[in-house]
Amino acid sequence: MMTVVIGGSKCGKSGYAEKILDSFDGKKLYIATMIPYGSEAHTAIERHREMRRNKGFETIEKYTALNEIVLSGKCAVLLECMGNLLANEMFGVGKITNPIENILSGVESLNTQAEQLVIVTNNIACDGISYESGTMEYIRNMGEINRCLCETADNVIECVYGIPLAVKGKLL
């Protein structure tokens, strides 16, 4: 089962995504995609580690190429977060030629291997502002990835100011 948790910055989507897997009886993997650049990133990473403390997650740091991950046994996966993953694939060292295809094939691979897959992603491009071309390409790619994820997901939950709303499927 695949669930997408989407929302704006600091809206409670990470906490809600973790809550979905609270009752999972098996191995829980947290795939962290944020490359720790600078103090702000380190602060965010530490905040998320503290949120997960004592929740039974094993962390895998994977910044690109999700399709390289091989899972074993009964497990659930929390992928955090699609926005960082896309930025890494588009702008990181060894820029990926087709980041959308690469990310979606990686998600498909995880989804076929895991009993539950929960993906945290960002709702961007709602401000209506035009940015420079690289940022606009990122926004378009993020929109396409989110559209594809939400089409195939069993559940789509939007977090709005800490309130989870079922857009597709049900609240978990």
* pLDDT score, position 95: 67
* pLDDT score, position 125: 78
The structure's pTM equals: 0.92
User: What letter would DSSP give residue 162?
Assistant: T
Q: What domains can you pick out in the chain, each with its CATH number? A: 2-168 (3.40.50.300)
Q: What is the pLDDT of residues 23-35, one digit of tens each?
A: 999 999 999 998 8
Query: If you compute the radius of gyration of the chain from its CA atoms, what whole number of angstroms results?
Result: 15
The DSSP string of 79-109 is EE-HHHHHHHHHHSTT--S-HHHHHHHHHHH
DSSP-based three-state secondary structure for 50: helix
Strand order in the sheet with 155-160: 57-61, 27-32, 75-80, 116-122, 2-7, 155-160, 163-168
